[in-house]
Each structure stands twice: as C-alpha cells, then as structure tokens.
C-alpha cells in the first residue's frame, strides 16, 4: 500500500461503517417483511434486492453524470468571459456581468428550472422546450456559470498585485501580463473550488427529477414508490458517493499536476 492508498482507505472505511449503521435496521426489516426464517436469510434477501436495482440505477446515473459534466463545461465557457467582464473597469462591460451573477446567485436553482420550463413557455410560446434534458442543461449551465465566474474572478484577483506590476515593468501589455503571468497562476487556485462546484452540481441535479427527467433521483423515487421499500436509497447513495469519489480523485490529481511550481 502506498501513501495515497492509505489516505484513501480511511474515508472508504468510514463510509462503509456509516452505511452499515444505516443498513442494519433495514436488514431487520427485510427479515420481518419477507417472512425469512433467520436474520441471515433476511440480510442476503435484502442484498439481492438492492443488487437487482443496480442496472436501472446505473442507467439513470449516466444521465446525472452527463448532465453535470455538460453543465460544468458549458458553465466554464460562459463563466470565463463573465469573470473577466466583472473585473473590467469599463461600466458598460462590468454592469451586465454583475447583474447576471447577482440574478443567478440570488434566486433558487429549482425556481430557475421551473421558470424556464413552465413560466417562459407561458409568456413566449415559441420558447417551449420539449426535451426536459435540454431544459435542465440550459437552466443548470446558466446557474453554474454565475458561480464559476465568481470562482474564476476570485482566483485571478488572489494573485499578488506585484506580479502584474513586475510583468508591466518588463514591458508587457495588460493582456500579455494576464495571459502569460496571472491566468496560469490562477489556474491552480481555481481547481479546488471548481472541483467543489462540480460535486455540488452533481448533487443539485437531483432537482431535475421534478421535471420528469429520468436521473438517478427520479429512478430512485420511482423504485421506492413502486416497490414500497425505502431500501433503494442505499444503493442510490452509494452510486452518488462513488461518482463523487472518482471526481474528487481526478480533481486532486489535476491540482497536484498544476502545483509543481508552488
């Protein structure tokens, strides 16, 4: 076991312990509900039940995952110009950017989603979005862009002023200094909060279940109601955890790679 594996083992063990604490009473429920003769029969029956839901849940998890990836990458594309716009000293550029960020950070995501899906078609029938995946992607992208813009702005402004002054004294223009000196240093600082934002988005996508998009939460709720068993939340939570763990790992790798010079 190398150092990294050891570090990863501790949270993994903790997660398993916590989940088993949740699970034991439900195993007991399995024993009672299905008239299994022994406690161990109940446990194995419960495990089989949860295992049988996995394919459906994984299929739905794919929607959750692709939605988060699309939204964060599109959000970055919109977020970068927004951040630069907010830093800009020209009012005509920074006012709209500030207004955008103010609006999307100041209203709940669920309401933005409902606004796009239900209110907008009422006012402008031409803007009716038929596909709930597209509607969800647009709503989430617009929202995520506002948060990412703030993250990027903070990262850029956190770079010491001396860096810009030094670059200028070497004869660089503002644009050159930004491109060659400031932004490369800011990259490293924005990776952890972007990773954080990604995980937040991944969990926030559970909101799309309210507009009948078959994401992981939607499928989980559907199974819970059709099987009349709340046990399904255990495998669903494990899937969320696994996805989060994978992306935490990826982001920490990127961070390490970028911090070679620090």
Partner 1 sequence: MKKILALFMSALLFLSVAACGNTGTEKTGITSPDDLDGKKVAVQMATTADDYLTELVESGRDIEILRYEKVTQCFDDLKFKRVDAVLVDRVVASYYMDDNSTSEIVWKNDEGEPMAICLKKRNDKLTEAVEKAIDTLYYNGKIGELAEKHFGDNYTEGLRNVTQEPVIDKEGFTLVEEGKFKVGMEVGYPPMEYFAADGVTQTGFDVDISKEIAELLGLELEIVDVAWDGIFAGLDTNKYDAVISSVSITPERLEKYNLTDAYVSNQLVLVVNK
Shortest Cβ 72–partner 1 spacing (Å): 15
CA dihedral sign, ordered 137, 140, 146, 148:
negative
Shortest Cβ 218–partner 1 spacing (Å): 8
DSSP letters spanning 100-122: HHHHHHHS-HHHHHHIIIIIHHH
Q: Which is nearer to partner 1, 16 or 134 (by Cβ)?
A: 134
Q: Which is nearer to partner 1, 52 or 242 (by Cβ)?
A: 52
- Please give the Cα distance from 194 to 115 (Å, whole number): 26
Using an 8 Å Cβ cutoff, are 62 and 54 in contact?
A: no
Q: Which is nearer to partner 1, 112 or 209 (by Cβ)?
A: 209
* Nearest in space to 246 (alpha carbons), one of 64, 55, 80, 37: 64
Binding site for partner 1 (CB under 8 A): 74, 77-78, 81, 118, 121, 125-132, 134, 138, 209-212, 218, 221-222, 224-226, 228, 230
Half-sphere exposure of 201 (CA within 13 A, CB side): 33
Which DSSP category does 9 fall into?
Answer: H
Q: Which is nearer to partner 1, 9 or 134 (by Cβ)?
A: 134
Shortest Cβ 162–partner 1 spacing (Å): 25
Shortest Cβ 125–partner 1 spacing (Å): 7
* Nearest in space to 217 (alpha carbons), one of 200, 204, 228, 231: 204
Shortest Cβ 102–partner 1 spacing (Å): 21
Q: Which is nearer to partner 1, 173 or 225 (by Cβ)?
A: 225
């Amino acid at each position: 076991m190398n150092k990294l594996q050891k570090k990863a083992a501790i949270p993994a063990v903790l997660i398993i312990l916590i989940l088993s604490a949740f699970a034991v009473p439900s195993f007991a429920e399995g024993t009672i509900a299905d008239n299994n003769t022994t406690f161990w029969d109940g446990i194995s029956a419960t495990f089989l039940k949860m295992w049988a839901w996995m394919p459906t849940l994984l299929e739905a998890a794919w929607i959750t995952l692709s939605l988060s990836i699309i939204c964060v990458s599109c959000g970055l594309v919109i977020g970068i110009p927004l951040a630069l716009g907010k830093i800009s000293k020209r009012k005509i550029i920074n006012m709209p950017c500030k207004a955008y960020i103010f609006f999307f950070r100041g209203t709940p995501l669920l309401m933005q989603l409902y606004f796009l899906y239900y209110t907008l078609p009422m006012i402008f029938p031409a803007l009716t979005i038929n596909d709930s995946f597209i509607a969800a992607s647009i709503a989430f992208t617009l929202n995520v862009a506002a948060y990412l813009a703030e993250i990027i702005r903070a990262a850029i402004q956190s770079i010491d002023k001396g860096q810009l002054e030094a670059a200028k004294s070497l004869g660089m223009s503002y644009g050159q200094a930004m491109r060659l000196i400031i932004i490369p240093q800011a990259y490293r600082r924005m990776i952890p909060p972007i990773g954080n934002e990604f995980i937040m988005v991944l969990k926030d996508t559970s909101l799309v279940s309210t507009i009948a998009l078959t994401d992981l939460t939607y499928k989980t709720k559907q199974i819970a109601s059709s099987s009349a068993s709340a046990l399904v939340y255990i495998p669903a939570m494990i899937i969320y955890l696994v996805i989060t763990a994978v992306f935490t790992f990826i982001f920490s790798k990127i961070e390490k790679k970028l911090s070679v010079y620090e």
